[in-house]
Amino acid sequence: MKQVEPQVFLLARPAIDAEGLAAYLQAVGAPGWTTDAPSAAEQLIEVAGRACYRSFEPGLNPNVTKVREGSQAYLQNILQVKHGSVLEHANWTFALFHVSRVLTHELVRHRAGTAISQESLRFVRLTDIPMWLPPEIRENPEARAIFEEAVVNGEKAQQQLAEALKIDGRPFHEKKVLTSAMRRIAPDGVATTLIWTANARTLRWVIESRTAPGAEVEIRSVFGKVAEIMTREAPNLFGDFTPIPLPDGTCQWQPDHSKV
């Protein structure tokens, strides 16, 4: 049995097309507008928010005589008033590596504002069965022995099925059918890879809900890692999250502004 630990890799972040933004600002009548936003994502969300009220500068909208200056102050107000729709413009993509299908089955419940691509066990044949061991199993020698024996037996079954079905040497389309049949005895805990894209609004909610004390420990650990990345990536959007240590070594990430 191959014991693994979940890992999180940031694969992509928002980017600004400077030419397109400059053309829009020229058209809207604010060619001199600038921002001190520390990231493209925060700049994009600030532009989207200001576009709603045409509040790049006083006078563009006759109803607006004063505008909030500075990215941090502007975005803090967005969070405070829960103008969450503008957060949906910025997306980040993560590779969630060596996470279990227990985790992925829970994560698909958060489908609004996401895109998901998962390693397919219809195509990827199992030889070993990599697993993350929950602390309740890892720290109990008797339970761990039972757990590991079950996984090793599962690995043997995969190998025996491959031999019985004579899978090697067949055309790929036949391998796909047989691999799909063999995967049905794989455990939910088998480690897999998920490419997961989410917008800022969704990220805030998933971090909050999936690092809560009642969340499953693996998903809490993974989204603690996501929270650490996002507080660095976009501090004006995620800087209100505070990590609260929990007894199992993970953290609850609690925001000042919930459900934006």
Given a contact cutoff of 8 angstroms between Cβ atoms, the answer to whether 136 and 8 are in contact is: no
Instruction: Spot the catalytic one: 101, 210, 220, 232.
Output: 210
Distance CA 28, CA 41 (A): 21
210 is catalytic: yes
For residue 214, count CB atoms less than 10 angstroms from its CB and return exposed for 0-12, middle for 13-18, buried for 19 or more: exposed
Q: Which amino acid is at 166?
A: K
Neighbours of 84 (CB within 10 A): 18
Dmax over CA atoms of the chain, in Å, equals 78
Helix, strand, coil percentages (3-state) for the chain, rounded to 5, are: 45, 15, 35
Which strands sit side by side in the sheet containing 91-100, from one edge to the other? 7-12, 91-100, 191-199, 114-118
Q: What residues pair up with 116 in beta bridges, in sequence order?
A: 196
- Taken in order 199, 201, 206, 207, the sign of the CA dihedral is positive
Neighbours of 92 (CB within 10 A): 22
For residue 54, count CB atoms less than 10 angstroms from its CB and return exposed for 0-12, middle for 13-18, buried for 19 or more: middle
Mention every residue, 6+ apart, whose C-beta is less than 8 A from residue 126: 155, 158, 182, 183, 186, 190
Q: In the numeric block, which tokens belong to residue 60?
A: 């563009």
Q: Looking at the annotation, which residues are catalytic?
A: 210
